[in-house]
Amino acid sequence: MKRSLLYFLLLGSVINWSCQDRCQQTRTFRKFTSVKIPIAELRTSFAVEAPREPQEPGKIYVKDNYLFINEIKQGVHVYDNSNPSAPRAMAFLKIPGNVDIAVLDNFLYADTYTDLLVLDITNPATAREVKRVEFATRFGTFARTSWSYNETDQNIYTQKEEILTETAQTDCDGNLSLWPYFAPIWYFGRFYGAFEYGFMSGKSQSFGAVINDGGSSGTGGSMARFTIAKEHLYVVGSSELQDYDLKNRANPVKGSKISLGFGIETIFPYKNQLYIGSQTGMYIYDVTKPEAPEKLSFYQHVRACDPVVVQNDVAYVTLRNNSSFCGGTQNVLDAIDVADPRFPKIIKSYPMTGPYGLGVDGQRIFVCEGKNGLRILDLSRGPSNITQTQEFKNVDAFDVIPLNGTLMLVGQGGLLQYDYSGGKDLKLISKISVKPLF
């Protein structure tokens, strides 16, 4: 009996189980779908919503105790950061198509596809729309997608990005190198191609505060396309510089437009100058007369993909060699003398591993090295004699904003805040986490 059962089992196993390999691949990918948004719908779409966890964070902006994190093409997360060890999510401002913001006094200026939106954020949790400058621009590109406005049918054509998972049968041999292999650039735990990264956020430094002699503005990154200087909002498009007069905060007046040539990407102010990053180099414009910016120089060495911070007439730039789009060939930190903005000249180059963003505060420079950690450099002996004081290998550091003793670090899975006021050691005090991709 036992024996016949065994035979039966053996026979059954051979007959019933086929000898076919069964392999399937589960792939998670981004799907891009074309969508159109009627312009009338866009103009009624602003809303204040309950706070939510960031999923695809973009640029960061700091103003007083408020921390703003852009959700790419969705809106802005607002945090009360008066206590950096416990930032409190206040609200999510739904602004379709938003990528850049700038704040002057109690007014927030945000792009929303074609328009420039002005919000009164006296209390960000009850922000309200006070003005909309219509048709500030008619097309745009950001991160992985682009959009354009069609005047004939009055629709905005853009792309929706979603993360999907699909499964397919495969041949068990892993012949699946489907995609051309990009050199990915990491931001907030998300990856971007080098070209797309050109549009992503940057770093550090209270540029805004330095240059404002009317009102109080916030701190944006060196890769921002919006900046506020001398009660003027400067917006760079792909080929031009647009000026808005903000003397009446609630009613920006469109001013002059300067054509700059191809590939303009970033803008940041320092003293009486605007530093405008393009794909080929860096323009320096004088804004002593804010309504009529005047070109001072064009410095070719620095490109838009290279984060720049300026302090005490010295610009610090990191160049990374693996950003294929920007075509860098070296990994260095450059100190550039910009005391005479008509003739910027290099002071010294310092070798780095593969630097991303950087930040400078007083005697310290913070250089992010991506997966290789964070370097802290000492500036006390001048820009020609920078030495390394500390290196943190165990953090993923992409970007930093050092501000009043708190280091905001865009790290793996979120925005980390460190206390650097006391002595040498960084102390992690809080983390705003980013929703996992899938």
Partner 1 sequence: MKTISFTLLIAVCLTTINCFAQRKWVNITEIGAQLGRIQANSNPDYSNLLGSSSSFAPTPGRYTTLPPNYGVNRNNLSIQTFNGVQLKNSLTPGITLGADWYGNSQFFPVMAALRGDILKKQRRISPYYSVDAGYGFRGFGYGSDLHGGLAWSAGGGLRINTGNKTGLVIGVAYKQQNAVYNTPVDGIYTISQRETRVYNRLALRMGICF
Complex with partner 1: residue 184 or 263, whichever CB lies closer: 184
Q: Are strands 75-80 and 88-94 parallel, antiparallel or unpaired?
A: antiparallel
Q: In 352-438, at which residue ranges do the beta strands (DSSP E only) sit?
A: 358-361, 364-368, 374-378, 387-392, 399-403, 406-411, 414-419, 427-433
Least spacing, CB of residue 31 vs partner 1, in Å: 7
**Only segment of 31-39, 305-313, 366-374, 401-409 that touches partner 1 (CB under 8 A):** 31-39
Are 304 and 298 in contact by the 8 Å Cβ rule? The answer is no
436 binds partner 1 (CB under 8 A): no
21 binds partner 1 (CB under 8 A): yes
Residue 201 CB partners (closer than 8 Å, separation 6+): 58, 59, 60, 70, 187, 221, 223, 224, 399, 410
Query: What are φ and ψ of residue 42, in 5° steps?
Result: -60, -40
26 binds partner 1 (CB under 8 A): yes
134 binds partner 1 (CB under 8 A): no
181 binds partner 1 (CB under 8 A): yes
392 binds partner 1 (CB under 8 A): no
Q: What is the CA 352 to chain-centroid distance, rounded?
A: 22
Complex with partner 1: residue 36 or 427, whichever CB lies closer: 36
Complex with partner 1: residue 180 or 351, whichever CB lies closer: 180
Binder of partner 1 out of 8, 23, 126, 239 (CB under 8 A): 23
Least spacing, CB of residue 144 vs partner 1, in Å: 7
29 binds partner 1 (CB under 8 A): yes
Least spacing, CB of residue 22 vs partner 1, in Å: 5
How many residues bind partner 1 (CB under 8 A)? The answer is: 50
Binder of partner 1 out of 10, 35, 250, 253 (CB under 8 A): 10
Give whole-number Cα distances, 327 to 119, 302, 324, 349, in Å.
39, 11, 5, 18
Q: What is the CA 60 to chain-centroid distance, rounded?
A: 7
**Only segment of 78-86, 190-198, 365-373, 398-406 that touches partner 1 (CB under 8 A):** 190-198
Residue 295 CB partners (closer than 8 Å, separation 6+): 283, 284, 285, 286
Complex with partner 1: residue 7 or 50, whichever CB lies closer: 7
Distance in Å from the first CA to the final CA of the chain: 53
Binder of partner 1 out of 50, 151, 152, 177 (CB under 8 A): 177
Binder of partner 1 out of 171, 291, 294, 425 (CB under 8 A): 171
Calculate Rg over the CA atoms of the chain.
Answer: 25
193 binds partner 1 (CB under 8 A): yes
8 CB burial (10 A radius; 0-12, 13-18, 19+): exposed
4 binds partner 1 (CB under 8 A): no
351 binds partner 1 (CB under 8 A): no
178 binds partner 1 (CB under 8 A): yes
Complex with partner 1: residue 19 or 50, whichever CB lies closer: 19
Positions 268 through 297 that interact with partner 1 (CB under 8 A): none
Binder of partner 1 out of 8, 14, 123, 247 (CB under 8 A): 14
Binder of partner 1 out of 61, 113, 149, 192 (CB under 8 A): 192
Complex with partner 1: residue 125 or 172, whichever CB lies closer: 172
154: amino acid identity, one letter? Q
Binder of partner 1 out of 175, 329, 394, 404 (CB under 8 A): 175
- Read off the DSSP letter of residue 424: S
157 binds partner 1 (CB under 8 A): no
- Read off the DSSP letter of residue 124: G
The neighbouring-strand residues paired with 376 are 366, 390
Least spacing, CB of residue 282 vs partner 1, in Å: 27
Positive or negative torsion for Cα 360, 209, 187, 344: negative
**CA–CA gap between residue 434 and residue 438 (Å, rounded):** 12
Q: At CA 96, angle to CA 358 and CA 204, rounded to 5?
A: 10
Q: Residues interacting with partner 1, by CB under 8 A?
A: 3, 6, 9-10, 13-14, 17-32, 34, 144, 163-164, 166, 168-182, 184, 186, 191-193, 196, 437-438
